């Protein structure tokens, strides 16, 4: 968090005795540009996957989603981006809308993985929409090349 952002967020001139409020926060993620649907709602959830759990099937969100891995490691893959592993203390985000989120499962076979995610949702839309096998087949060309074993 920049000093200017911290001052803007907490109100410049407040708490003059100590500046700890300016250094207590540490930026974990800076995502831009983002587009939040007008009238969106937000939901924050904690997800816990058992060892090796593949996670949620391919899906999308109607608005952006921002996550933080508490423990373990998440196998994360968005349409058009290579698969990656986000370890504890790491963050991820997705823009929402039409972009398919292929993976969010546990990358570990011997330990649980926990993460927190805040999702923005367009009014009248589900927070999460599974993608059909038919649509996945039609959009294969948009998926980044898969790692070879």
Distance in Å from the first CA to the final CA of the chain? 39
pTM of structure: 0.79
Q: Give pLDDT tens digits for 98-113.
A: 999 999 999 999 999 9
Tell me 133's DSSP state: H
Strand partners, 130: 59
Alpha helices in 20-145 (DSSP H): 20-23, 133-138
Q: What is the overall mean pLDDT for the chain?
A: 87
Residues forming beta bridges with residue 115, ordered by sequence position: 47, 69
DSSP state of 4: H
- Residue 5, C-beta contacts closer than 8 angstroms, at least 6 positions apart: none
**pLDDT tens by residue, 48-105:** 999 999 999 999 999 999 999 999 999 999 999 999 999 999 999 999 999 999 999 9
pLDDT at position 45, please? 95
């Amino acid at each position: 968090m920049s000093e200017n952002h911290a001052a803007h967020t907490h109100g410049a001139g407040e708490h003059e005795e100590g500046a700890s409020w300016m250094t207590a926060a540490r930026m974990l993620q800076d995502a831009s540009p983002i587009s939040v649907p007008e009238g969106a709602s937000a939901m924050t959830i904690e997800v816990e996957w058992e060892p090796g759990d593949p996670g949620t099937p391919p899906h999308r969100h109607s608005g952006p989603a921002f996550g933080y891995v508490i423990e373990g490691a998440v196998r994360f893959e968005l349409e058009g981006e290579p698969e990656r592993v986000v370890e504890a203390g790491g963050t991820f985000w997705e823009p929402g809308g039409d972009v398919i989120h292929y993976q969010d499962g546990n990358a570990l076979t011997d330990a649980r993985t926990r993460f927190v995610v805040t999702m923005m949702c367009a009014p009248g839309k589900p927070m999460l929409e599974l993608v059909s096998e038919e649509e996945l087949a039609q959009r294969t060309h948009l998926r980044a090349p898969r790692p070879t074993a």
